[in-house]
Structure 1
Amino acid sequence: MEFLRSVENWWILQSLLERIGFITGIICVLLAALNIIWNWPFAIVSTGLYIFVFATHQLYADMGQYVYLFISNIYGWYYWSRRPKSQKAIPVIRISKKQVWWSVIIIAVLSPVLGFTLTRLAPILHYAPAAFPYLDSFCTVCSLVAQIFLARKVLENWLLWVFVDIIYIGVYSTKNLQLTAILFVIYTGLALFGYLDWRKVYRKQNNIAA
């Protein structure tokens, strides 16, 4: 009972935006892992709120990332809704070698460029220096790539999310965003579940096609 009271008090101390973003974030990832199109409106709400949360904690790369995610969630909702009438959902596909190489190049090039830009812009624009600019930028670019793959229903998007989410757990813990760190622990578990679930769907598609 004392433990539950402590958890309740801790929950109340978290910001309202972070709490709503936490709840809608879990719902959207769970629905995405279950291949349900209604993950996108929850994703739009969650990413919209986290834009403000990250801005107030000087995580500027994350803020920019969530602006992109907000827009890409709208695209994902549109793309998933364009399923053929004969199918219940857009089919799951595997990543191609070309996509792998392009992803590696994009991450390798954009991560240091974004990190360098964040360190240079802080004194020019007179705002607080970015926290972990290069690590934050690396995770941001990885997330951008993963989000594209999620919207296009590429199975391996979930593996990239697992990798990024594990790093983010450490980043948000050090920035005292405890609720967000817990959220990314849950995200990691849901991403693993999503990969396994989508892999079953993919194999089922192949069996039907065969």
Structure 2
Amino acid sequence: MQAFHAITQWLQSQSPLELTGVVTGLLCVYLAAINNIWNWPFAIISTGIYIFIFAQEALYADALQNIYLFAINIYGWYYWSRQPANAPKVPVVRITHKQVVFLLLIAALATPVLGFTLVSLTKVLHYQPAAYPYLDSFCTVVSLTAQVFMARKVLENWLIWIFVDVIYVGIYLAKGLEPTAIMFGIYAVLALVGYIDWRKDYRKQLI
């Protein structure tokens, strides 16, 4: 009973907007996992909320990432709605050496450029200084690359997501965004489940 009371008090102390972003974010991931088209409207709501939250917390790279995801989710909803129910399933593939090199190069080159840009622009525009500009930029660059690998059904995309999600948990805890940190912790667990599930599909393809 005390634990329930403590959880209730903790929830009441959190931002309703952030909690809405967390609930819709978890719903969109769950619905995507069961291949339900309604994952897209929940994703649109969640990313729209987090554009505002991350901008407010000076996590500008995260805000930019969510602007991109917001647009992609609108496209995804449109694209899924046009696909026939009996469309063939895209096979799972393993990551290639070229893709690993691409990931490392894009992270090494784009991270400092994005981080420096965020630091410079916030000074010029007199915005709140970017929080963790280079770490935030690194996570954004790697996340967007993982998104491409996921779209191409690369098995190891899930391992990249686990890596990034764990870093995000630390960032959001440091910023006091506890519900968001919990959400990304759950994302990491879901990514592990996704990896195990996709690995089973990959092994079935080899038979």
TM-score normalised according to structure 1 size:
0.88
Q: Which residue of 1 aligns with 2:193?
A: 193
Deviating more after overlay: 113-122 vs 198-207: 198-207
Q: Percentage identity across aligned positions?
A: 60
For residues 41 and 148 of structure 2, the distance between their equivalents in structure 1, rounded to whole angstroms, comes to: 17
Equivalent-residue separation in structure 2 for 1:154 and 1:43 (angstroms): 22
Higher relative contact order (CA 8 A, sep 6+): 1
3-state SS of 2:176 partner? coil
Give the direction of change, closer, same or farther, for the CA distance of 1:92–1:199 in structure 2 (3 Å limit): same
Gapped regions of structure 2 (runs ≥ 5): none
Q: 1:199 to 1:80 in 2, by over 3 A?
A: farther
- Structure 2 match to 1:168: 168
* Rounded Cα–Cα distance in structure 2 between residues aligned with 1:201 and 1:34: 15
How many residues matched? 207
CA distance in 2, matches of 1:42, 1:205: 32
Matches within 5 A, 1:67-86: 67-77=67-77, 86=86
What residue number does 2:51 align with?
A: 51
Give the partner amino acid of 1:20. T
Structure 1 alignment gaps of length 5 or more:
none
The answer to whether the 8 A contact 1:34-1:194 is kept is no
Within the alignment, does 1:26 sit opposite 2:10 as a pair? no
- Cα distance in 1, alignment partners of residues 81 and 92 from structure 2: 14
What's the Cα RMSD here?
A: 2.2
When normalised by structure 2's length, the TM-score is 0.89
SS in 1 for 2:137: helix
Once residues 80 and 204 of structure 1 are traced to their aligned partners in structure 2, the CA distance between those partners, rounded to angstroms, is 25
Aligned-partner SS, 2:153: coil
| Higher alpha-carbon deviation: 107-116 or 5-14 | 5-14
